[in-house]
Structure 1
Amino acid sequence: MDFFGYDDLVHEIYAAALEPIRWPDVVMQIAALCRSPRAMLFTPTLAPPQGGFTHAFNMPVAEMELWMKKGIHEDLLVEALVRKGWLKDGITVTGDELVPRAQLLASSFYRDLWQPTGIGRVCAGIIFDGSDLYLPPVALSVYRSFDDPDFRSEEVEVVRRLVKHLARALGLMFHLSDLAFRVAATTAALERLAAGVLVVNQHGHVVFSNHAAKRLFCRENVVQLRVDGVGGALLNLAPRLKKHERAFQDALLRALDPLQATMRTVPILGDDGIPACVVHVVPLMEESPFRANQEGAGALVFVYDLESAAEISPDRLMSLYGLTRAEAGVATEVVRGGPTEVMAGRLGVSVNTFNTHLRNVFGKTSTHRQADLLKLLLALAVD
């Protein structure tokens, strides 16, 4: 492996989290490092109009347009991932592991999309599997033709390692996606977020909290600050949520451990079983402008106060966005969370009816997915 090229690429991946204009260049560098003529970083089940994205290198425009119209719904490999139970964060596989060669060659997916582009082989990594409400499904695919050699185990391992770095960088990017990325490195930008945002240093001490986080501290029923023996303020959950404290602290420790530095999502339920909040802990790399100090990178902690968002009156949503009462009920049900069947059951409607109302809500609120709708409700909750 080209270690110098790999290190430079990792640096570019984290830079692209704050400057998304860099992503096409990152994908080009990934293809070069993997000795492949084509590569794509994309949301396999979401087209751009639905909030997805596609960053491709050396993919013809006509084929890309066809893929966005057709292939996103007919991707043979995505279907195989789902069927085999392999659509999980961090999984890295080759096309031959997913679909037999004869089946691929006989498919319209290959004839219409791959063959015209000269694609025959793929090594794909699942960055996000879509199970997290706040992170859309994202995959990395590195392509070769049938004339090129198969992907060796060492090359698959390179893709697997890149997927880990991409997950960290994209996790931060999605949390900041509603801001102008060129000002994302300023504390003023963090103040604009409806979610509570805290920066902690390598010791776990809180060194910055935005307005939404300060409001949570004042309420003292979700997160609290505790002064330790060296005079720093540590983050804790409120006593009523103590059964989640261990998972919460473990997420912080993993993010701050330079050997792990992994992003964690901790859903926190109240005594009634309804989500009280969701906490995301995102490790800060050394290159990040959010670094808490010069001694260590620290972490960003996002606290989504679901209880406040769920308290928004249906009448207010009806007035602001022209929702019907049924649609307003669906909107607030999204805050409570759960599978569609569960949310529909709580409202006493069918899944089809629930989905119809939800599509109407997306259209009237100019959102495209549940995470965007939740951000909107959180913003209304702190007005």
Structure 2
Amino acid sequence: MTRVETIHRAIRHVYEAALEPHGWTSAIDSVAEVCGAHKAMLHAQAVEMPFLAISVGFDGDEARRLQREFETRLPDWIKTIPVGKALRQTSAISDADFRRSDIYREAIRPAGGFYGIVAPLIRDPDQQVLFSMGRDLGKADFSDDDLAAASLIVPHLTTALQVRNRLAAADLRAKGAYDVITQLNIGVILLDAAMRLIFANHCAEALARSCDGLLLTGQGVSAARPSDAKNLRDAIATAIGLNNSGRDVSEAAMRAQVPMRCYLARRPPRLPLVVRVLPVSESDVREGISAGTRAALFVIELDKPAGIEPIVLAATFHLTRREATLAALLAQGIELAEAASRSGIGIGTARGYLKQILAKTDTHRQAELVSLLLRGGLQMTR
């Protein structure tokens, strides 16, 4: 294989590694082979990206010693090399000075090396990436052709790392976005243009496992009753169709034909599930959510107890701790006498608390109070 062919192969391996993290060792080995290096290391540190340290030709202790030198006391002659430039160490420091340097005594000599090529790939406050190659002690220095080959490959290393960073950042954003959706206390389901399932949060999965109203299948989402399943499919199709129609005047007509809200019956005495279907266009998709999402379903349990935190009520309406506890119980549909018993107070005291709660919330009846609390205090996360 000619040197040109080995360079092309190394560049191909570098870009493959950007998409498959396990390929970095093979990529660095290919670059070392092109330049006749016995050892090589890619060392990347970043504030918000995964740490990367890939080495070939070093054993574990040797690699860790060199990493430590790069991280804690990078030589000044390396710091002055321009980003993106491959440089022979002999062009920056004499052999005699190199032998006296910390990096040689602490890391290079124990690894049995001497001559090297160093290339800073990225250097900014948030990220430092360094590529280095070396030859064993007693071997000749790198030639001009070796350096030229390294110089051809270095820009591709930088580009591949930038691709890696963008993919890693996208993964982190996706994880953050889906983590938020996962914690919601209502069912959330994302579908693509073919109504195939992209994502369902824990709440939606739990509802589907009960096989009582909502169903999740390999094909997408459905309902226990055939008539409900048809209504749900029609609502989803309508929502997805709005994207294709450009959301022009035909949207109103389509809304009139098929509502994008439907109900899924459950076994008595359970109340039906409410499913609201929203269209999601490509421009609506936020970073972290699958770009293929074209419909979002929100599944609400009408008979699920309201998860209203007393501490939130106390802070919002300036209630005392006991008033907030009583208000939270009333919001769950519990009668005043039962709420008083659970709170460990008498019914007369409870009526006094209720009077104070009504005044502080600017409501006049218990039903009005509960309506206010349900509208403003519904707990949306688990």
TM range (shorter): 0.3 to 0.5
Provide the TM-score with structure 2 as the length reference: 0.43
**Higher-Rg member (1/2):** 2
Provide the TM-score with structure 1 as the length reference: 0.43
